[in-house]
Structure 1
């Protein structure tokens, strides 16, 4: 999805670098066009194996996400806010995985260990947007489940499909603006290094390469992250506790159904938050002296968990969605069999 634009940008800047190579020693301010992703160097000894693994993960994730989106779109019985939010989650996973896995596959297969500045900034924008959208979507899903369980008679007026779509539109708009500001703040920096301890680009890795004042970047990044993460955790915990309290008062059958849905949300949300916090704050551990291998393990595993686990859990644990997905797959297989 995003691989084409990333590779086109890299090709353009390869041409521009060749034309301006004679001026390479004039200044260090943004004449660094390519950055070394040292994580790719650490994977070189098994790069073909890792390349195949990345490709399989990408294709399987895209297939599962596409199936979920198609089933929710095609089945009228699933046209309610909860499934709209699930669609947004898996759609966002498709964007996040497309910003990471295809390029990783190509880099490993070709042996390329560098990335150009424009491509790096683009990848950082989409990966950071992916994480932010996931957090806020989980938050609004917790609110939705609390309204559904706590106010069943008023739920369809409190949370309509239109309101769900409007909420997601606001989330996407706000996050796009805030992440864009974060990326633009990097553009103003004087970068005096080109070594990134990762296999993909992120704003924090680029900020650490600045040799001038980066106080504004750090203040903005910390404030934005803390506001979003702490705000989300407070809202989600409050909604989950209130929902559990309500579940204790309703009938056993309704309570079991509500708790099953709630457990699914808790598993995906907590897993995602732990993985994201490890990735986001790994530079703060041990005064930033983590080894390259440790950086690689934390950053790759954290992002892969976020990308692969959410659609898998929702596809398996959400009963109505799981049944519709199985029926759709059987129907597709049956049509192919008849076609043969």
Structure 2
């Protein structure tokens, strides 16, 4: 039997609410969130870059984190704002795949950034005397470069595998283009995609999780055996990172659950909000969790805003 494949030139996003009243309310809310994300992350990136006193490993990793959140937000919000005001929620195939790449590379780089930051805190707390020799400027540069290059290459490979699929439909039940939703539309064999996804999960993701767990076990061990000052330092430096990790992991976990399992019992509005959680709340909260908890960054940001630098 011969299967008739459909040549997909565009995708239709079906999770939008087309109420005339809610349309402009949603647009205003999303635009406000986008502007806040841009302002907060650009501000802290500039503060770190222009002040030599902040050119230390921890701040460099934070700068990489803020840049990634700007990148991920830019890949989501402009198209989202256009679609909210549009009456026909269609996206051309090239633009849809570009958004898939942007969103998934953002997620992968974010996880890797958090892993590198946990490794940095591990060295600072567990090996304070050797920290400057263990975390040199060249090592910081290599870690940041590997964080971006390796995972971007991995995302390119994943997108190429998805683009090569023959699709029998073009309906995506989300407000943005999603890689797994496109794979579910395939009529052709998806073995390469599934194997590639499993290899990635059991090598990269599992490796990142194991690294983060190991660093925090070691940090907790030092905290319980160290002085009160050591415990206070560990809590002040690790609490924002742990809160950020849990916040981002929760958002990603729900999106994975929604993509792979039937969640029709969950109200559609709640599904949309939670599917956007890791793409909106993380870039919005990270500047607060990290930047505003660091007194020097807070002081320099205040000077920058008031024009006193």
Under a length normalisation based on structure 2, what TM-score does the superposition of the two structures give? 0.92
Shift of 1:297: 3.0
Structure 1 distance, partners of 2:28, 2:202, is 37
The equivalent of 1:258 in structure 2 is 234
Which runs of structure 2 are paired with 1:75-86 in the superposition (5 Å)?
75-86=51-62
What is the CA deviation profile of residues 177-232 of structure 1, one whole-angstrom value per residue up to 9, with x for unaligned ones? 11011110011111111110111112111101112211211221232134333222
Structure 2, unmatched stretches of 5+, are none
Structure 1 distance, partners of 2:229, 2:95, is 52
The equivalent of 1:50 in structure 2 is 26
The equivalent of 2:119 in structure 1 is 143
- Residue 281 of structure 1: SS of its match in structure 2? helix
1:211 partnered with 2:187: yes
The equivalent of 1:270 in structure 2 is 246
1:181 partnered with 2:178: no
- Residue 276 of structure 2: SS of its match in structure 1? helix
Point out the structure with the larger helix share.
1
Structure 1 distance, partners of 2:100, 2:250, is 20
Structure 1, unmatched stretches of 5+, are 1-26, 336-340
Which runs of structure 2 are paired with 1:209-288 in the superposition (5 Å)?
209-286=185-262
The equivalent of 1:116 in structure 2 is 92
Structure 1 distance, partners of 2:274, 2:191, is 25
Structure 1 distance, partners of 2:101, 2:267, is 23
The equivalent of 1:165 in structure 2 is 141
Structure 2 distance, partners of 1:131, 1:179, is 10
More off after superposition, 66-75 vs 105-114: 105-114
The number of aligned residues is 305
Shift of 1:303: 2.1
Question: Match for 1:200 among 170, 173, 176?
Answer: 176
Structure 1 distance, partners of 2:283, 2:256, is 15
Structure 1 distance, partners of 2:162, 2:67, is 27
CA RMSD of aligned residues (A): 2.0
The equivalent of 1:4 in structure 2 is none
The equivalent of 1:99 in structure 2 is 75
Under a length normalisation based on structure 1, what TM-score does the superposition of the two structures give? 0.84
**1:291/1:243 CA distance change after superposition, 3 Å:** closer
Structure 2 distance, partners of 1:45, 1:201, is 25
More off after superposition, 251-260 vs 157-166: 251-260
Shift of 1:131: 0.2
What is the CA deviation profile of residues 46-99 of structure 1, one whole-angstrom value per residue up to 9, with x for unaligned ones? 111111111111111111111111111122221111111100111000000000
The equivalent of 2:275 in structure 1 is 299
- Residue 182 of structure 1: SS of its match in structure 2? helix
1:125 partnered with 2:86: no
**1:128/1:67 CA distance change after superposition, 3 Å:** same
